């Protein structure tokens, strides 16, 4: 080995053999890094087609409901009655003026949609004049569709509808817990289908009310639930007592 | 490295390697267990109600 | 080095090294984002910020794996030694990537609520007794803190303030940080995966790191255990001078104390501690450049006759007495720290 073959980092000259080896190794590592990055990005569970279009504001007219979660019942473009969940822009529930509940209102905000689900991040709300059209939008009675036994995950509906992509699973657990803590609607997806499903029923207690904070430790964990499937208009619900929720 | 550092490395790594292997295998086992429990649970489809 | 500190002392090699590092990071992140956004149908496309936070995390893990491979690989083959020279820039970059990952996670998953993101991170999931449900975020946070301490003390200024032993002990925390990161990924992202690719990448990376460390550690321990035998008077047999190439050394292991590098500089035989004062680099794997023993790791230099770095540097390592008897070099196992030079032994044949 000649004297100049010896690598000295501070020297102006890197030995030729080292230069060649390091150049090859460097290029291989850079190329390998690119391949690894692309491979990891393509290998992921599905995130679904939920969308939060934050660039477009909509104003919808309908009737405000409060239980179990704030909603606006309004008529969609196709004439069908649609329930739009009302939320704030962050991970907290929307505070409703009690005077507006059950009354007609014009609600403005951005839409979060997935499948037939719709949610609005509300920026503005105003009382609408009473009309025959608005009067037709009163909530329909609940229809019991029988018992269900499901295995899956408790979701926060806002993220799953499209505020986050992906909006389920363990990495999203803390966020889901924050949303649940803030009083946002909870829903349920079946395991294996949480990514690509387009429908997720609400998860409520046996009386059709929202769960309290006792449900936080179960959010986003794999759980089984035994309860009843209930339809209220276009909204599907799973109603189950807390004791019927079990972690797998 | 000096003698003490070499000894520290030689002692640390077999332990760390075992811990890593155990954690790696354990996390995969847990995941497999949950996946199996989900498959085998008697679930009824939502539409079937 | 000991002559006043600049933030970074740029050398041509360092510039090329950092350019390659920058390119590597940009290519990895770019490939991740382009593949994740452009090669997926619009109905199944992650949000850019969620893709990015994953890309940063994956990049930090890949880079940390690479960093931890360099040390043992350099022990297995000197070809890898140049990669050690600027390794701390890799470390600081890795911390930056991990910080970006943590920052995006903190903002996106733990933000937008009335709860403090740190409280959310540590308390939103209380299942510390579960494996499947373990709050893996906390593991990542501890690893990030370790990487922060290391990045903050990566400069030679801190090596000098803390002393090389303390500094090395502090920086050996990186192994625990790596372990925490592996578990963080396995109990976090991997739990939600449908394919085995993520787990396989983690397994191969961590397996490789563990394997080379265990191999090299065992090899070095074996070498230390099989010390060269010292005579009763403390002299160790090194061998004939012509078995040492000019300007190079043979390393001997005394029964106690540090390894000794016995150098031949023309006809002169010098013995000097094998442990560089800077980061403990193996001086005996270096060579004599401009009359000074030069460390293969970062090029620190010592005069072989007194172990002192040439002015303006002030580092100093131990030197050892040598003698030649019947054409065989002997070195005495007791280090010399006196003010006098230790004169070299001179070979009779003056072999070249």
Strand A235-239 and strand A222-232: the pairing is: antiparallel
What would the pLDDT profile of C121-135 be if each residue is shown by its tens digit? 888 888 899 888 899
Best mutation target, A45, A191, A201, A227, to test chain B (most B CBs within 10 A): A191
Q: Phi and psi (nearest 5°) for A25?
A: -65, -40
What would the pLDDT profile of A15-35 be if each residue is shown by its tens digit? 888 899 999 999 999 999 999
pLDDT band, residue C337 (cuts 50/70/90): confident
CATH code, residues C235-346 = 2.102.10.10
Q: Where are the domains of chain C?
A: 12-223, 235-346
| Contact state of B27 with C259 under an 8 Å Cβ cutoff | no
Q: Tokens 């006792």: give the residue.
A: A214
* Interface B:C, Cβ pairs < 8 A: 89
CB contacts of C186 in chain B (<8 Å) are 23-24, 27-28
Give the pLDDT of residue C5. Answer: 67
Best mutation target, A11, A34, A35, to test chain C (most C CBs within 10 A): A34
User: How far does A125 lie from chain B, in Å, by closest CA?
Assistant: 34
Put simply, whether B40 touches A (Cβ < 8 Å) is no
This model of the complex carries an ipTM of 0.94
**C350 pLDDT exceeds 60?**
no
pLDDT band, residue C233 (cuts 50/70/90): confident
Overall average pLDDT of the C80-109 stretch: 96
Overall average pLDDT of the C74-95 stretch: 94
Give the pLDDT of residue B47. Answer: 53
Please give the share of chain C, as a percent, with pLDDT higher than 90.
Answer: 77
Of A40-44, C40-44, C277-281, give the lowest mean pLDDT range: C40-44
Contacts of C128 (CB under 8 A, 6+ apart): C134, C135, C138
Higher per-residue pLDDT: C85 or A133: C85
**A76 pLDDT exceeds 90?**
no
Give the pLDDT of residue A171. Answer: 94
Closest CA in chain A for residue B41: A151
- List residues in chain B touching C: CB distance below 8 A: 1-14, 16-17, 19-21, 23-24, 26-28, 30-31, 33-34
User: How far does C336 lie from chain A, in Å, by closest CA?
Assistant: 27
Distance from C-alpha of B17 to C-alpha of C210, rounded to nearest angstrom: 5
DSSP string, C254-277: -SSS--EEEEEETTEEEEEESB-T
Owning domain of residue B45: 1-49
pLDDT band, residue C339 (cuts 50/70/90): confident
Distance from C-alpha of C79 to C-alpha of C90, rounded to nearest angstrom: 18
| Contact state of A170 with C24 under an 8 Å Cβ cutoff | no
Q: Quick count: other Cβ atoms within 10 Å of Cβ A133? A: 13
CB contacts of A39 in chain C (<8 Å) are 35, 197
Count the domains in chain B: 1
Triad A61, A63, A69: Cα angle to 5°: 115
pLDDT band, residue C4 (cuts 50/70/90): low
CB contacts of C62 in chain A (<8 Å) are 33, 36
Joined together, the tokens standing for residue C44 give 């199944």
Triad A89, A92, A94: Cα angle to 5°: 75
């Amino acid at each position: 080995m000649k004297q100049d073959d010896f690598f000295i980092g501070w020297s102006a000259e890197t030995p030729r053999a080292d230069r060649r080896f390091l150049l090859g190794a460097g290029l291989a590592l850079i190329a390998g890094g690119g391949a690894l990055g692309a491979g990891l990005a393509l290998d992921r569970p599905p995130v679904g087609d939920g969308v939060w279009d934050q660039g477009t504001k909509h104003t919808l007219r309908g009737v405000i409901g409060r239980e179990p979660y704030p909603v606006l019942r309004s008529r969609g473009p196709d004439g069908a009655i649609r329930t739009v969940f009302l939320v704030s822009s962050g991970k907290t529930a929307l505070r409703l003026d009690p005077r507006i509940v059950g009354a007609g209102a014009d609600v403005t905000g951005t839409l979060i949609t997935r499948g037939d689900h719709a949610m609005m991040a509300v920026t503005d709300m105003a009382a609408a004049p009473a009309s025959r059209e608005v009067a037709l939008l009163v909530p329909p009675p609940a229809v019991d569709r029988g018992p269900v036994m499901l295995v899956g995950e408790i979701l926060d509906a806002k993220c799953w509808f499209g505020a986050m992509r992906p909006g389920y699973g363990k990495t999203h657990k803390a966020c889901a817990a924050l949303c649940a803590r803030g009083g946002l609607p909870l829903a349920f997806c079946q395991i294996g289908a949480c990514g690509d499903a387009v429908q997720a029923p609400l998860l409520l207690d046996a009386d059709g009310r929202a769960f309290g904070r006792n449900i936080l430790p179960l959010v986003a964990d794999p759980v089984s639930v035994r309860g009843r499937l209930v339809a209220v208009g276009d909204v599907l619900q799973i109603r189950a007592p807390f004791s019927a929720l079990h972690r797998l | 490295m000096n003698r003490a550092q070499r000894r520290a490395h030689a002692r640390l790594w077999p332990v760390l390697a075992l811990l890593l292997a155990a954690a790696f295998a354990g996390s995969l086992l847990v995941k497999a267990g949950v996946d199996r429990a989900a498959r085998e649970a008697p679930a009824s489809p939502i539409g079937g109600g | 080095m000991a002559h006043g500190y600049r933030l970074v002392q740029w050398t041509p090699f360092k510039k090329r090294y950092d350019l390659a590092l920058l390119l590597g990071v940009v290519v990895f992140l770019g490939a991740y984002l382009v593949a994740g956004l452009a090669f997926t149908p619009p109905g199944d496309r992650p949000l850019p910020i969620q893709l990015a936070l994953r890309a940063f995390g994956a990049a930090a893990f890949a880079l940390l794996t690479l960093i931890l491979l360099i040390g043992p690989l350099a022990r297995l083959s000197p070809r890898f030694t140049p990669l050690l020279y600027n390794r701390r820039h890799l470390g600081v970059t890795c911390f930056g990537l991990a910080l970006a990952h943590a920052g995006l996670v903190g903002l996106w998953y733990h933000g937008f609520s009335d709860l403090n993101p740190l409280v959310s991170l540590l308390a939103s999931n209380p299942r510390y007794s579960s494996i499947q449900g373990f709050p893996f975020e906390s593991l990542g946070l501890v690893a990030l803190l370790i990487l922060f301490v290391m990045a903050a003390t990566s400069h030679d200024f801190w090596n000098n303030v803390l002393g090389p032993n303390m500094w090395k002990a502090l920086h050996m925390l990186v192994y625990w940080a790596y372990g925490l990161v592996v578990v963080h990924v396995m109990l976090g992202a991997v739990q939600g995966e449908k394919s085995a690719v993520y787990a396989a990448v983690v397994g191969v990376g961590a397996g490789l790191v563990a394997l080379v460390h265990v191999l090299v550690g065992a090899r070095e321990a074996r070498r230390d255990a099989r010390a060269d035998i010292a005579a009763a008077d403390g002299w160790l047999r090194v061998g004939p001078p012509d078995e040492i190439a000019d300007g190079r050394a043979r390393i001997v292991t005394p029964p106690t104390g540090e390894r000794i590098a016995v150098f031949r500089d023309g006809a002169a035989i010098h013995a000097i501690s094998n442990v560089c004062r800077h980061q403990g680099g193996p001086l005996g794997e270096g060579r004599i450049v401009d009359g000074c023993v030069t460390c293969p790791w970062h090029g620190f230099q010592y005069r072989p006759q007194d172990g002192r770095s040439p002015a303006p540097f002030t580092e100093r390592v131990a030197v050892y007495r040598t003698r030649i008897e019947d054409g065989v070099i002997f070195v005495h196992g007791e280090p010399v720290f006196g003010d006098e030079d230790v004169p070299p032994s001179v070979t009779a044949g003056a072999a070249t």
